[in-house]
Homo-oligomer: A and B are copies of this chain.
Amino acid sequence: MPVGKAVIGQSGGPTAVINKSLVGFIKEAINQEYDEILGARHGLEGILKEDFVDLSKLSESQLYGISKTPAAALGSVRKKPTENDIEKLVSIFEKQNIRYFFYIGGNDSAETANLVYEGAKKIGYEIKAFHVPKTIDNDLLETDHCPGYGSAARFVAHAFQGDDADNRSLRGIKINVLMGRHAGWLTAASTLGKSTEEDGPHLVYVPEKIFNLDEFLKDVKEVYDSLGRCVVAVSEGIHNKDGEYFLQTYASETGSGLAGKKDSHGNIQLSGSGALGDTLTNIVSEHIEGARVRADTFGYLQRSFLADVSEVDAEEAERVGQYAVVASKEKESGSIILRRQFSETYYCDVDVVELHKVAKHTKNMPEEYLEKNKPYVTNDFFEYAMPLTGGIEPKTQIFV
């Protein structure tokens, strides 16, 4: 295959360490014989507009700066390519002699890499295409976990430590809504800073289980009656047995004004809104008379709070970016994964798997990470997730 140019883009919701992957990629890419190393501004959108920046000219100190920059240094985008888009992309690649395509993102980005690879093959244009994983949702198949998750989990665990102490001080019921439309990984991380049974969160509701409002109210009341307080972690994506979001069904059943907005894809807008937390607060207030009930929705802070990043996560994010270049020397296409080693101290190796194994799929929390008979996580989850956060010190807590 002719050498040609390489292009990289970033896609989807940023994470605290997505730029580490970009820098890992660049550092390895400048040692290759690519004609040029292009960064596409705002992912696919940048490629379609041929809005590129030359990444091979960056100094060491600029690379360091990028690695410390929150969110996507190239700009990001939420875009699923149409068939036309793919055709256009391939023709631009051909025109520009781009032979290597790297895309940092979630399962949609793996799918995009796959579509580009297949689209090029169809017209006989030789190309290599690789997906570099990132998502705070931690919901990609094949990989042990996703870069971005460890830092988000760290933020969530620390946030709950403080918020739980706040709730202990003023008592009442506190509901915190976490990101996670399909998988509860980040919501589950709310438990990682707990020292004792009495610490919150006391209840954890994830999309892997069907949400039942009556049971929820019973659970909350039970904890509140027993401790005089209750801290709850709820995934934004809680839903009924038909997979309909709680917020959506509740709003249509009750005509509640907290219904929330739909986004441009017609999905109900779960992020960037406090609607779910406020709705649950109102319901709990009515059900448990006299209780002080409050909700917070952690929102975008979960993926962008740079003052509290997991070092493990940062290092791995750089390594998967770097390894994408290495993998492209041997293979035609693939998705980079982390594979946990069985050793006394935590370590993940990098490897590459076929794109279709990752594309479009969602990895839910497995059964063994969730308690069967109560809304809570197991110790297996704790052991899985803790190393990814860089370690959460137990909260010092002396309540006298």
Contacts and interface: CB of A to CB of B under 8 A. Distances in A.
A13 to B, nearest CB: 7
Contacts of A396: 65, 68-69
Given A274-B273, A278-B275, A70 B162 contact: yes
Nearest to A71: B165
A163 B70 CA distance: 8
A74 interface: yes
Interface residues of A, number: 72
A297 B282 contact: no
Contacts of A285: 261
A117 B41 CA distance: 65
Contact of A258 (B168, B257, B271): B257
A96 interface: no
Interface in A168-193: 168-171, 174
A271 B277 CA distance: 12
Nearest to A275: B278
Nearest to A162: B304
A374 B270 CA distance: 32
Contacts of A293: 272
Given A257-B258, A278-B275, A165 B304 contact: yes
Interface string A225-244: 00000000000000000000
A279 B166 CA distance: 27
Contact of A70 (B69, B71, B166, B281): B166
Contact of A400 (B53, B282, B308): B53
A395 B69 contact: yes
Contacts of A168: 71, 75
Contacts of A278: 260, 273-275, 278
A123 interface: no
A71 B162 contact: yes
Contacts of A365: none
A11 to B, nearest CB: 10
Contacts of A398: 62, 65-66, 69, 73
A386 interface: no
A191 to B, nearest CB: 16
A348 interface: no
A301 interface: yes
A76 interface: yes
Contacts of A169: 10, 14, 71-72, 75-76
Nearest to A274: B274
A54 B39 CA distance: 64
A55 interface: yes
Contacts of A294: 271-273, 299-300
B273 A304 contact: no
* Residue in A62, A76, A278, A397 with the greatest tally of chain B CB atoms within 10 Å: A278
A70 B165 contact: yes
Given A272-B295, A399-B69, A305 B159 contact: yes
Given A55-B400, A71-B165, A261-B281, 14 more contacts: A14-B170, A66-B398, A69-B399, A158-B306, A162-B304, A163-B300, A166-B300, A257-B258, A272-B281, A273-B274, A274-B277, A274-B297, A298-B301, A301-B301
27 contacts: A13-B166, A69-B396, A70-B161, A70-B165, A70-B395, A71-B165, A71-B166, A71-B168, A73-B399, A74-B399, A75-B399, A76-B170, A78-B170, A159-B301, A159-B304, A163-B300, A257-B257, A257-B258, A257-B259, A271-B294, A272-B293, A273-B274, A273-B281, A273-B294, A274-B277, A275-B278, A307-B308
